[in-house]
Structure 1
């Protein structure tokens, strides 16, 4: 009896057609049917995900194994793709070190989140134009042109799938129950805010009889993004000096010294939390019922406050301070778009499968993305495809396969869960309201980081000085009287080359 022989060409078809082979169950005549009659197993492409998107924040230890296996099987059955996740170690530095080790080793790694301009220049990732055209049409439709602009280099190559777009991340939040208790109005100016901070410090609004109130919880990014706009024309931004039309850092802008002096005054008076520029846990601080205002990243309130609210006084509440102005206008500076993106590595064996996998999460928005995030532990509330709720508070699937944790999806649903509702409302009603903040002068300019490092050899030293010395001024470790000496330090560190390179790139890219 003759044995059936499978030709080499037929084997290649079976091995390469991962989507067709996995999804086709028809009995139509052709290659698929012929292959099914052989003993050759279906080839299921496997994709290796470094899950550093933030999807695991709610359950860092990961899923219950059987629930993760259920999700994996679902993707194998639906897409013919087997996902596998690498969970980063805790801590940003450790996670980045692990990523770099993976990229430099022979270990398999197909996709991760990072700034594309950090990795494209190293040859670690691939451009996505063709993959998006063939397998990522739903991803392309989900994001506006402005988001894709930040993903695209000067040659038109698209290097990543966006994570976000220009947004307002640093509003001021205030305890409105404390305002009511002290018979104070919502502040509308910087001076009025200072008066409120003074009252919070001196009048014991938490009622514990101790001098331990924290008028403002903040950090370095917080004071720059939430407050600096009230002192300088462009806020937390480079600026164009009209005297010579050169791009200069904000430290040289009129008003920056006044900003540093005011922050130092607030810190000395106890209005700013003493540990603001060291490591501290905002959640633990909020639990103490001592925080009057926050100028940190918005989710420090929207995600954390609802968790502690049940253990605070019944009327405890934080609201945003709307429309507050300083001598130079709006206090908050918007965050421009960034190069943070979901990337596909150069060593990916199945980049088509990676793009297909991610694109599926952008289909039927937000349903498929929510499935990737929560598995079967969620449902829509009512008849709309907007309000959602979790079925069970106990998380068993942590979100290892969620690669669409991004603004284009996050603004398309809202939790009815009281713990998550405040966060969802901010995302949907306030995150993209750019008119309430100042936009950096060079928000649309994507500076070439490699050229900056090559042409400004002391770039790292300058960046370090800018951060460290501002903290010293604010905390009183360095007197404001030495501000001019600080500028001299920057100049000696090579600020002239910094200005020259930024100006050169700004002018070149502004023309395009």
Structure 2
């Protein structure tokens, strides 16, 4: 997980160049390979990797050309397969992918939600390929991860990217707690008391009333805090009055959650720009942020970068065990249909599966090589602690197709900048005991049926996001909450409830 999905996980924009150079300077003319008998040369099977996995987050400009060629030759020699990386244009990866899928362009594998592509006939089921060439992939992922890859007929459409995880913890400046003689908060009242102290007592010591008690966003307040107010957390729920599945807005406690967030916002406890675009890294650099409830990597990846510029002792720690009136504050992210898929256009699907499977062999060695080439090494004998061997990454990961918890939780960087992120992944991300799980977390809803049976589904989704922001920021008074619920019904919420309930009852196990 080099960055957010996902959904999970908000990836960095990729470069607009196809890095497909080979020894002849043309990625479509592979180097010939001799047969074992010394007979005529034969052309290796080419596989075309659409690199939208997020692997290039570590180096968005891509590899040094000769290092990319070195890695291509490595796979040609090791597997007898010639990989060709297609790096999509900046800011339009999905658009470019759809154009390629609908044209004569070669594209064999990419990352996507399989249910978005299976119904369109763009990808193929993988059962037989996994049985024949993907045994290491099958062993690497737990059974529940495969459930998200499988349709009602038992067809497996993708290779998992992740599994249920905790993505929105609450981080707090523990050095500020010590400075103000405060204990780590264990409930909502104590959490609010800490925010109040951060706001009023100038823990950053700049003499100004500009401390930001909490940096967050819309997903942050829902996934990190809503569980303390709603029995099922940030989740749909079953209304016992009619046994129908309903959205969180109709659950007991939602109005209290919204009112509390609005109160915190008006008191200045929540960053004023939380629900518009802002740069978390630049905000952290100001040494004014007391807490964060955003996606975990907003701290694990960003804070270590700027820590040397902050006062000595600056530290963020996770608030563990905190609860509200309805229990745990956090809601875990369920598994998803995000996966590596193989297209119907693939001329050598067996080679694609062999290539992916290779990165699941000898975990984490092969997956690390796919990510960093030869620019890494183990620091001990345990095949767990690693470090990068060069200050600058030369191979960016264009051929990496094994991103996900099955490989990324098997190593940790012995590096002050990367260690915090690795420690979160290996020690915290899969600890589901600290969070609530959505009640329909195992349901893969049929998106086509949702669109067909809820014509206004997108309007309802938009209302749910936009109006929540309005209530929290005070643009709409809490007194209009009942009017908001009526708005949802006018937008087709009855149809929403009927269709989601139908699918939930049909698909639940």
Q: Give TM class, smaller chain.
A: over 0.9
Q: Residues 150-192 of structure 1, C-alpha deviation per residue, up to 9 Å, x if partnerless?
A: 0000000000000000111111000000011111110000111
Identify the match of residue 316 of structure 1 among 314, 317, 323: 314
Question: How do 1:262-301 and structure 2 match up within 5 A?
Answer: 262-301=260-299
Inter-partner Cα distance in structure 2 for 1:64 and 1:395: 9
Q: Which runs of 5+ in 1 are unaligned?
A: 1-20, 26-32
Inter-partner Cα distance in structure 2 for 1:105 and 1:438: 44
Instruction: State whether residues 226 and 331 of structure 1, in contact with CA within 8 Å, keep that contact through their aligned partners in structure 2.
Output: yes
Query: 2:300 maps to which residue?
Result: 302
Query: 1:234 maps to which residue?
Result: 232
Inter-partner Cα distance in structure 2 for 1:200 and 1:23: 69
Moved more, 345-354 or 81-90: 81-90
Inter-partner Cα distance in structure 1 for 2:90 and 2:428: 30
Q: Residues 192-238 of structure 1, C-alpha deviation per residue, up to 9 Å, x if partnerless?
A: 10111111111111111111111111111100000000000011100
Query: 1:109 maps to which residue?
Result: 107
Instruction: State whether residues 23 and 80 of structure 1, in contact with CA within 8 Å, keep that contact through their aligned partners in structure 2.
Output: no
Query: 2:178 maps to which residue?
Result: 180
Inter-partner Cα distance in structure 2 for 1:368 and 1:185: 44
Inter-partner Cα distance in structure 2 for 1:439 and 1:383: 37
Q: Residues 376-414 of structure 1, C-alpha deviation per residue, up to 9 Å, x if partnerless?
A: 000001111101011012111111111111100011001
Secondary structure of 1:208's aligned partner: coil
1:349 aligns with 2:333: no
Secondary structure of 2:99's aligned partner: helix
Q: Residues 238-277 of structure 1, C-alpha deviation per residue, up to 9 Å, x if partnerless?
A: 0000000000000000000111111111111111111111
Inter-partner Cα distance in structure 2 for 1:146 and 1:211: 49
Instruction: State whether residues 168 and 330 of structure 2, in contact with CA within 8 Å, keep that contact through their aligned partners in structure 1.
Output: yes
Query: 2:25 maps to which residue?
Result: none
Give, in angstroms, the shift of residue 23 of structure 1. Answer: 9.4
Query: 1:255 maps to which residue?
Result: 253
Inter-partner Cα distance in structure 2 for 1:491 and 1:202: 42
Inter-partner Cα distance in structure 2 for 1:123 and 1:469: 37
Q: Residues 267-322 of structure 1, C-alpha deviation per residue, up to 9 Å, x if partnerless?
A: 11111111111111111111111110000111111111111101111100000000
Identify the match of residue 160 of structure 1 among 120, 133, 158: 158
Distance 1:268 1:230, change over 3 A: same
1:143 aligns with 2:141: yes
Inter-partner Cα distance in structure 2 for 1:146 and 1:187: 34
Instruction: State whether residues 35 and 42 of structure 2, in contact with CA within 8 Å, keep that contact through their aligned partners in structure 1.
Output: no
Inter-partner Cα distance in structure 1 for 2:312 and 2:481: 46
Query: 1:485 maps to which residue?
Result: 483
Q: Residues 66-117 of structure 1, C-alpha deviation per residue, up to 9 Å, x if partnerless?
A: 11010001111111111111112333xx221122112122111111101011
Query: 1:421 maps to which residue?
Result: 419
What is the number of residues matched between the two proteins?
Answer: 478
Give, in angstroms, the shift of residue 477 of structure 1. Answer: 1.0
Instruction: State whether residues 330 and 436 of structure 2, in contact with CA within 8 Å, keep that contact through their aligned partners in structure 1.
Output: yes
1:70 aligns with 2:65: no
Post-superposition, which runs of at least 4 consecutive aligned residues in structure 1 deviate over 6 A? 21-24
Query: 1:43 maps to which residue?
Result: 43
Instruction: State whether residues 223 and 295 of structure 1, in contact with CA within 8 Å, keep that contact through their aligned partners in structure 2.
Output: yes
Moved more, 409-418 or 274-283: 274-283
Inter-partner Cα distance in structure 1 for 2:357 and 2:33: 17
Secondary structure of 1:184's aligned partner: coil
Query: 1:18 maps to which residue?
Result: none
Identify the match of residue 96 of structure 1 among 94, 97, 119: 94
Query: 2:378 maps to which residue?
Result: 380
Q: What is the TM-score normalised by the length of structure 2?
A: 0.92
Inter-partner Cα distance in structure 2 for 1:486 and 1:283: 35
Inter-partner Cα distance in structure 2 for 1:399 and 1:352: 22
Instruction: State whether residues 389 and 416 of structure 1, in contact with CA within 8 Å, keep that contact through their aligned partners in structure 2.
Output: yes
RMSD of aligned Cα (Å): 1.2
Query: 2:455 maps to which residue?
Result: 457
1:56 aligns with 2:62: no
Query: 1:505 maps to which residue?
Result: 503
Larger Rg over CA atoms: 1
Inter-partner Cα distance in structure 2 for 1:464 and 1:173: 29
Identify the match of residue 439 of structure 1 among 419, 437, 440: 437
Instruction: State whether residues 172 and 319 of structure 2, in contact with CA within 8 Å, keep that contact through their aligned partners in structure 1.
Output: yes
Query: 1:85 maps to which residue?
Result: 85
Identify the match of residue 494 of structure 2 among 483, 487, 496: 496
Q: What is the TM-score normalised by the length of structure 1?
A: 0.92
